[in-house]
Amino acid sequence: MKTRPYNIRIAILLLAGLSLGQPAPAGEAEIRIRPAAAVRPGAVCLQEIADIQCENQELQDRLANLIIAGQQPDGGELVLGTLEITAALAQAQIHPAGIDIYGASQCRVKTNCAEQTADLPPSPLTPQKESAVLSIPESILSELSSQEPNDDIAGITLSDQLTDTVAQMMDLDTASLKIEWQCKDPSWLQQPAAGDRFKIVPLSPIRLGQVQFAVTDLSLREPENRRQGDPGRCKVSGKVEFLCESVVAAQALRPGQVITPEMVKRMPRRVTSFREVGITDLDYVVGQEVARAAGENELVLPGMIRKVQLVKRNEYVDVIAKVGQVEIRQRCKALAGGAYGDVILARDENNKRTVQGRITAARQVTVMEESVPEKEVLLSKDFISSASEKRYQEN
């Protein structure tokens, strides 16, 4: 009888061990690598070399405090990139499937001297990670800003230069683009792009989707500088994606519904064509009528909405004409449907005369000021029937 609690404790320990051995649940997260960073001597955390965006706060904190490199000496320099981040994710048992890594191909990390960082405030990180901090003293920032720019220190590579070229040619911000570059020799993409080292020539139209460049390493023009087997030029292709926020359905939308603010939302998306961006302004959608059904999280396109129909085809409406102080109302049949501001034709079923007017309210059409012939028709004896109503209004 005494062995039962012991067996239960063993089972609980085994279950706890199995749960600890499972990888952390993946969440939608984005890691944008910075081209350069200045850190304090010690371990380098992910939040010091990259910008992190994540909806899951727990995963956000884990990624922020994720150690990418171990203890670094004073004044040291190292290069950290996608490979090191992926290895750190695997070691921390964070599944990389739901994590998107983009930005600079690598971050050039420079460790500040201990004398310059001695007056830094205590780190907000956990005790075992207190050696790495996010804040940089103003004295260091002013010193770095006063120095002449250096492509090598900034960590600008051929991959970064290609991304800047595409952004400039498309007149877009690099932060709004995500480009995956491919080359027969991947080491080319990591080469420092100091000065005018590379000559870049487009081989395809520069647009979203697939692009291609011919790259020549001008530093290898002299035979003595050329590496063995390296021709000094290569072709680089890339997939260009535009980062945007589009309006999507927050719930299932049915035809005929009038869209309210809680029925739609903006969702970050990546597209390879500007036609896929859709609608980006919520105000354009709210108050409109659903013309075509949409599922939850489905992109809302202009053809899926329409103005609220105030007049339906073949229904009777009040046609109003004003001439001075006189207002004439007549019940007519709408020959077309429409929303506020639409111009339609209406017909008097008694004498089959038609007038043109603008929809101004539900089941109401007002003859436009410039439509003098229509007003004459309304004021004619044949048009005014027993159902018409004369109203005299004072100015």
Phi and psi angles of residue 249, each rounded to the nearest 5 degrees, phi first = -80, 125
Cβ–Cβ under 8 Å, residues 39 and 109: yes
* CATH architecture of the region 309-392: Roll (2.30)
Maximum CA extent, the chain: 108
Q: Tell me: pLDDT of 357 over 80.
A: yes
CATH 3.20.20.70 matches 156-306: no
Average pLDDT, the chain: 75
Q: Tell me: pLDDT of 187 over 90.
A: no
Instruction: List C-alpha distances in Å: 333 to 319, 327, 387.
Output: 9, 19, 13
Q: Given this model, what pLDDT does residue 334 score?
A: 93
Using one digit for the tens of pLDDT, what is the confidence trace for 135-175?
A: 444 544 454 444 444 444 456 888 888 999 999 998 888 88
Q: Tell me: pLDDT of 207 over 50.
A: yes
Please give the CATH superfamily to which domain 24-151 belongs: eubacterium ventriosum atcc domain (2.60.480.10)
Q: Given this model, what pLDDT does residue 221 score?
A: 65
Q: Given this model, what pLDDT does residue 227 score?
A: 55
The string of DSSP codes covering 244-285 is: EEEEEESS-B-TTPBP-GGGEEEEEEEESSGGG-----GGGT
- How far apart CA 220 and CA 225 sit, in angstroms, is 5
Burial category of 2 from C-beta neighbours within 10 Å (exposed 0-12, middle 13-18, buried 19 and up): exposed
Burial category of 189 from C-beta neighbours within 10 Å (exposed 0-12, middle 13-18, buried 19 and up): buried
- 82 closest CA partner among 33, 10, 137: 33
Same fold, 24-151 and 156-306: no
Q: Given this model, what pLDDT does residue 228 score?
A: 53
- pTM of the prediction? 0.52
* Residue 373, both tokens: 């012939």
Q: Given this model, what pLDDT does residue 287 score?
A: 84
Instruction: List C-alpha distances in Å: 199 to 181, 202, 365.
Output: 17, 10, 66
For residue 393, what pLDDT band results from cuts at 50, 70 and 90? very low
Using one digit for the tens of pLDDT, what is the confidence trace for 232-276?
A: 888 999 999 998 899 999 999 999 888 999 999 999 888 988 888
Residue with tokens 């939308």: 253
- 36 closest CA partner among 147, 110, 88: 110
> What is the per-residue burial (b if ≥16 Cβ within 10 Å, else e) of 252-264?
ebeeeeebeeebb
The domain locations on the chain are: 24-151, 156-306, 309-392
